Amino acid sequence: MLAPPLRTARKPTRPRPALARNEFTTPAERAREARWWATYAWIEERFYWVLPPDLQPLARQRYVQRIADFLHDAVHVIDYGCGNGWIARALARRVRARVTGLDFSPAQIALARATEVPAGARIDFQSLAGPQDLPVADAYLFHGVLHHLPAAEIHDLMNQVQRLAPRGARLVFVEPACFTGQPVGDAQRALLDRIQVQVEEPAAALRRLGRVPSATVQRLRGISSERWWGEQPCGPSPLERPFTGTELGTVVAHYFEPPELAVVQYLPASLAVASELAMLAEDAPELARSIAPALLGQVDELEGLLLASTPLPDSGWYLQMLTATVP
């Protein structure tokens, strides 16, 4: 079957929205980013952003199924910037569609291909050089990708999707956001304090056994301090910059049908607890496995209460999920 002809990008009737980030990335900045990932990619995968496979479903339960529900009738889903393929594999378990993971890093694609995929899943992984390599599909997922890009690259990617994707194609964007300058109310502070208790529970559980963190875990904690190089709203790696407020929704709405936006995760809650459990597993794997479901269930409940409060407190990174369609 021949691919549909490319459509000329819609000519905006208004200037494209500005983004609170650099317009372009310099070669020096790219080199700095590459050095950062060469140093910290392993800890991101094992202990922070990606997480071990047994903790991923528990830490991501708030929104992964929502993505699958939105894409339930898709035929072909593109996971753009798939990394080691963890969310592509999670989707392949939940949708009937063929799932293709794309990434700029040959090392990440090699890792994705080497990881076992769910039985019966239709999934493959491919390298790409840039948006110009984007294939035609009826669904596209951008999970934690755009906040690494400068403004010009974000707009180029949106233009390419708009030009390439068929009308009615479904789009999902999941990106970190900060709500700077918003106050923390008394009720929210109480929730944040309760969440912090949950974050500290894995280390407390180890202490109750009369043990101290191993040298490996102490080293991990030291690296954790090093990798957090900047103040809000800057992020762990040099090029990461979360979107502020509703600016991502404004950009997506500029190119596609008005998106639906939801804040689906407070990163210093379930993701932080999962990271602590991953480190606990280095010292006491049976203990980590035994407390993980209940602990992550408790923090998920607290996280839900926090996300239902308004305005969301300026106290860390959140994940926004936007769903849209191609007009």
DSSP assignments along 139-189, one per residue: EEEEES-GGGS-HHHHHHHHHHHHHHSPTT-EEEEEEEEE-TT----HHHH
The count of domains in the chain is 1
- CATH number of domain containing 247: 3.40.50.150
Tell me the β-bridge partners of 78.
100, 140
Report pLDDT for 34. 87
Report pLDDT for 4. 44
Phi, psi of 12 (to 5 degrees): -60, 145
**237 found inside a domain:** yes
Report pLDDT for 5. 46
Which residues, other chains included, contact 110 with Cβ-Cβ below 8 Å and sequence gap of 6+?
none
Report pLDDT for 109. 94
Task: Say if residues 137 and 78 touch (Cβ distance below 8 Å).
Answer: yes
- The count of other CB atoms within 10 Å of the CB of residue 170 is 21
With H, G, I as helix, E, B as strand and everything else as coil, classify residue 231: coil
**32 found inside a domain:** yes
The predicted-structure confidence for 246-267, as pLDDT tens digits, reads as follows 899 999 999 998 899 999 999 9
**252 found inside a domain:** yes
Report pLDDT for 228. 73
Low-confidence ranges of the chain (pLDDT < 50): 1-5, 8-9, 11
Residue type, 186: D
The predicted-structure confidence for 199-227, as pLDDT tens digits, reads as follows 999 999 999 999 999 999 999 888 887 88
The predicted-structure confidence for 54-82, as pLDDT tens digits, reads as follows 999 899 988 999 999 999 999 999 999 99
**5 found inside a domain:** no
**72 found inside a domain:** yes
Which residues, other chains included, contact 62 with Cβ-Cβ below 8 Å and sequence gap of 6+?
264, 265, 270, 300, 303, 304
What is the radius of gyration, based on Cα positions, of the chain?
20
Domain that holds residue 167: 27-180+231-266+316-325
**241 found inside a domain:** yes
**40 found inside a domain:** yes
Which residues, other chains included, contact 67 with Cβ-Cβ below 8 Å and sequence gap of 6+?
87, 91, 141, 172, 174, 321
Report pLDDT for 229. 61
Task: Tell me the pTM.
Answer: 0.92
**309 found inside a domain:** no
